[in-house]
Amino acid sequence: MSFDHLFKVVIIGSANVGKTSLIKRYIDDDFIFSKKTTIGIDFKTKDVEIEGKIVRLQIWDTAGQEIYRNSISFSSSIYKNADIFMIVFDLTEEKSLNKIGSYLNEIENNCRTNPLIVIVGNKSDLIEKENGNVEERINEILKGREFKFVKTSAKDGTNVNELFYEIAKKLTEES
Ligand code: GDP
Ligand code: MG
């Protein structure tokens, strides 16, 4: 099948924040409760129609710990060719929010061009009320860098289609 645009979306973030689950929700509209850690990197594709054009998203899943063990993942060309990085954290785990800065550094140290960045706070189904501080924290961490912030739930599907659609739209507009 042919397409008009192909974009590489690379998903990074700490272990257990729901990276694999977000992809599963988006691609298969399904959710799995198990904690089977992702090994290595793998990608899935999905086509989105944006203003009459077929946009193919190639969505790369990664294992969170890898980045800290060594930089093998970042030396692979897939990171260099990423059109957008999705940095995922768990809205219920402050530790994962605090790691955003390290992931941002990895991106800046390993990518020649300035790729787009979207920050995803996942597991919104577990949050009872809005926490304005989260957005402030992210602003501090990203120090003036342009980014978009979205809250999702891979479990109930909140904002998942919207997230990938917005990414496809933004990348198409910028291409
Ligand atoms: P990864 O290590 O970042 O790929 O995380 P996984 O996708 O493997 O998910 C880790 C755990 O969190 C699993 O037990 C998932 O079922 C659970 N999980 C993932 N997304 C959500 C979510 O949106 N809400 C809730 N409640 N649990 C989630
Ligand atoms: Mg995973």
CB neighbours (10 Å) of residue 29? Answer: 10
Nearest C-alpha neighbor of 66 from the set 54, 56, 74: 74
What are the DSSP calls for 6-24, one per residue?
EEEEEEE-STTSSHHHHHH
Q: Is the pLDDT of residue 66 over 80?
A: no
Instruction: Write the pLDDT tens digit of every residue in 115-133.
Output: 899 999 999 999 987 777 8
Query: b/e per residue, 110-122, with b = 16+ CB within 10 A?
Result: bbeeebbbbbbbb
Residues 122 and 17: beta-carbon distance below 8 Å: yes
CA distance 112 to 33: 37
Instruction: Write the pLDDT tens digit of every residue in 101-111.
Output: 998 988 888 78
CA dist 65 → 29, 52, 106, 158 (Å): 26, 39, 13, 26
What's the angle, vertex CA 62, arms to CA 29 and CA 14, rounded to 5? Answer: 95
Model confidence, pTM: 0.92
ipTM (interface pTM): 0.99
Q: What pLDDT does residue 13 have?
A: 92
Task: Name the band, by pLDDT with cuts 50, 70 and 90, for residue 84.
Answer: very high
Please name the residue whose Cα sits nearest to atom 6 of ligand 1.
Answer: 18
Q: What pLDDT does residue 68 have?
A: 47
Q: What pLDDT does residue 41 have?
A: 66
Task: Name the band, by pLDDT with cuts 50, 70 and 90, for residue 39.
Answer: low
> Would you say the CB of residue 155 lies under 6 angstroms from ligand 1?
yes
> Would you say the CB of residue 139 lies under 6 angstroms from ligand 1?
no
Q: What pLDDT does residue 72 have?
A: 47
Q: Which long-range contacts (CB under 8 A, 24 or more apart) does 101-104 make?
A: 101/141, 102/67, 102/68, 103/12, 103/13, 103/67, 104/141, 104/142, 104/145
Please name the residue whose Cα sits nearest to atom 19 of ligand 1.
Answer: 18
CA distance 116 to 135: 18
> Would you say the CB of residue 18 lies under 6 angstroms from ligand 1?
yes
Which bound ligand lies closest to the C-alpha atom of 160? 1
CB neighbours (10 Å) of residue 75? Answer: 10
Provide φ and ψ at 18, rounded to 5°: 110, 25
Q: In ligand 1, which atom is closest to the CA atom of 33?
A: 16
